[in-house]
Structure 1
Amino acid sequence: MSKWDAWIGRTQAQSDTLDAALARRWCATFDLEVPDGPMPQGIHLCLCTPEAATASLGSDGHPSRDESDDSFFPPIPLPRRMWAASDIAFLAPLEIGAVITRTSRIASVSEKEGTTGKLGFVDVEHVTLADGVEAVRETQTLVYRDAAAPDAPLSPPEPGDGTFDTSAWDVVQTMTPSETLLFRYSALTFNTHRIHYDTPYARDEERYRGLVVHGPLITSLLLQLAAQEFGDNALATLAFRAVSPAIVGEPLHLALRPSDEGIELGSFASDGRQTLKAVAGLA
């Protein structure tokens, strides 16, 4: 029995509206035209965002956690938090104007000893309804880690001499995430984690080599790559996992190819280091 078992089954309900203003801002962020029909897949990541008061944020920008009944997440005493993975089922498209409700549930909490120290894992199940119809079902895995030593090597290492092999993939797009793109995505998702906008904090406190590109931002770009190949709202499932940090201002290769599991997607640094991997299934 874990000391965090009391949090398993804890729920949180939120409501939102996929209004025209959000749709325009989301499309503007990615240089897309606002569609006449349903919004592209990935917009759900910008709905029912965190609503914690500024005074309740921790030093990293995330909402503080404590032992109270009001604390949705367990107060695992590890300061660094990362959204490590998600397993998503797309059940119905999201239309502009839809009333959104999302119910979140703590599905599991566990602790492990890793090569870099203690790790805490929290799985959160989200069920998103649009106008009362189930539209997205997602399980997110969050990882909590020890504080970084002040002299820990910066992560990831500087790009090496290797190159990304484009010939191994059917579709490849290369882009360079900018500070502006990260800022806009943080604003869309009301994400105040300082690794995405505060360079001194990211470098000195969490020991990243620069600002870190959001995993869900990369996932949204990969969903758009899939949409270009298969059409809007063509995916039934998507599972992604963060592999290594992607750093702002550095080229990022977005890639897609068929696989035995359906569609394999990934993002890679200029030297071939993989930053995120994903697999998707068509509807």
Structure 2
Amino acid sequence: MRPLLSTTRMRSALFSVSRSSAKTSVPFHRVYTSAVESEDPDIKVVNEWLPTLSGRKATVDAVIDPSWANLLSATIAESPSEHSGLSQPPPLHPRSFKKGDVLPPFWHLIYFHRPTTREQISNDGHELLFSPPSPPFVRRMWAGGSISWNPWYPLTIGQSAQLELSLSKLETKVGRKSGRMVLVSESREHITNANWSVRERRDVVYLKGPGAGSASNDSSVGGSNQAQASEDKPFDFSRSLVPDRIMLFRFSALTFNSHRIHFDLPYVQHEGHSDLLVHGPLISLLLLELCSRHVPTRTITKWNYRAYSPFYVDKPLQLRGKLIDDPKGAGFAELWAVDDQGNVGMRGIVGFG
């Protein structure tokens, strides 16, 4: 069977990671393109907000402390029964990190947090630095992103590093079910010893609240029709797990994430969901962990991914991966996550260096 994407398209998509992750300036111009859109009250709100973003950026210093890495290791600890396709079973105990160890891919999420006060976060718990006006855009969703890792200057345990955070892109869209939305892309460059270690583009979507012209129970950006899994689609390795409330709580704490959709059940139900939502970044991190576990001899240098639909707490999910040979490089891996209904809620491409 054919892979999800051709080798040529994979190479093209991953090459764009490095380019899109570089620092860019945001063109602060009006976002509408027609007379009809110019009269849209939501567009007017966004246009009034745009000038306030000019020059807005932040830096965060951090020490890559081993204790935090060890806590994350315990949070996502795995068991042999969860895996298929492993040549060797995972260790019985979580990994332990010490000074000088290279931080695994995507683990930088537990560091580099701005010390935001209560006044600097919204009612639903997310940071306001690049958030559009609320109301009307009161609902936040992690939509995906792209990351490059520098194999020559990796983040390592015990070292000091700095995050430079800026806005790289902003646009409005209209979803088939979700209505008007604002897509915010953040540029995040992690620097050690005057060299970049991690470059990340983080895509976040802001939606209108329930009853404000958007579907309260539709949290997919890509659309559910794009997120159907084929049960006979081949994969080389997989992991089955059930994210529970303890895992979600611990991950929220480690990532300084106060978004209420991960811990406040009444709030989540008011938003139209049946239960707490699993963090999109947690799914992304677990997919990369799966790949590292099954392909330990290769170094992950790129990751380009997209979220399609939510995953819910206490529901089984399948993490899957397939290796794709590339005669012009070190190869790729397709990674995807499947929920208990058979929907692919996240999909991405890993590039090896």
| TM bucket, shorter chain | 0.7 to 0.9
Greater per-residue strand proportion: 1
The answer to whether structure 1 residue 279 and structure 2 residue 349 are counterparts is yes
Offset, 1:149: 3.0
1:170 matched residue in structure 2: 236
Work out the CA distance in 1 between the residues paired with 2:267 and 2:284.
Answer: 24
Residues in 2 aligned to 1:156 and 1:127: alpha-carbon distance in whole angstroms: 28
- Residue 75 of structure 1 aligns with which residue? 133
After TM superposition, give the deviation of residue 153 of structure 1 in Å: 6.5
C-alpha separation in 2, matches of 1:55 and 1:119: 24
CA distance in 2, matches of 1:141, 1:8: 19
Q: Is the 8 A contact 1:175 1:253 kept in 2?
A: yes
Matched, 1:220 2:285: yes
**Matches for 1:27-66 after TM superposition, within 5 Å:** 27-31=73-77, 32-35=94-97, 37-63=101-127, 65=128
- Residue 113 of structure 1 is matched in structure 2 by 174
TM-score for both structures, normalised by structure 2: 0.71
Residue 11 of structure 1 contacts residue 72 of structure 1 at CA under 8 Å; is this kept in 2?
no
Q: Residues 78 and 147 of structure 1 are in contact (CA less than 8 Å); yes or no, is this contact kept in structure 2? A: yes
Report the identity percentage: 29
CA shift at 1:8, angstroms? Answer: 5.3
Separation (CA, whole Å) in 2 of partners of 1:122 and 1:232:
36
CA contact (8 A) 1:155 1:245 kept: no
TM-aligned CA deviation for residue 233 of structure 1: 7.4
What is the deviation of 1:10?
Answer: 2.7
Match of 1:192 among 249, 258, 277: 258
What corresponds to 1:242 in structure 2?
307
Q: What is the distance in 2 between the residues matched to 1:58 and 1:249?
A: 27
1:243–1:35 distance in 2 versus 1, CA, 3 Å: same
- Matches of 2:216 and 2:189, distance apart in 1: 39
CA distance 1:166–1:183, change in 2 (3 Å): farther
**Residues 4-15 of structure 1 aligned to structure 2 (within 5 Å):** 4-6=49-51, 7=53, 10-15=56-61
- Distance (whole Å) between structure 2 residues aligned to residue 167 and residue 212 of structure 1: 26
What is the CA distance between 1:167 and its match in structure 2? 5.5
User: Please, what TM-score do these two structures have when normalized by structure 1?
Assistant: 0.88
Structure possessing the higher radius of gyration over alpha carbons: 2
Deviation at 1:152, TM superposition (A): 5.7
- The answer (yes or no) to whether the contact 1:50–1:191 under 8 Å persists in 2 is no
After the TM superposition, which of the residue ranges 104-113 and 5-14 deviates more from structure 2?
5-14
CA contact (8 A) 2:146 2:305 kept: yes
Are 2:149 and 1:90 equivalent residues in the alignment? yes
Unaligned runs of 5+ in 1: 66-70
For the 8 Å contact 2:182–2:205, the answer to whether it is kept is yes
Contact kept? 1:102, 1:128, Cα under 8 Å: yes
Q: Which runs of 5+ in 2 are unaligned?
A: 1-28, 31-46, 78-93, 221-227
- Structure 1 window deviating more from structure 2 (167-176 vs 253-262): it is 253-262
Higher helix share: 2
Contact kept, 8 Å, 2:332 with 2:352, in 1: the verdict is yes
Q: Which of 245, 257, 279 is the equivalent residue of 1:179?
A: 245
Q: How many residues align?
A: 272
- Letter of the 1:47 partner, please give it: Y
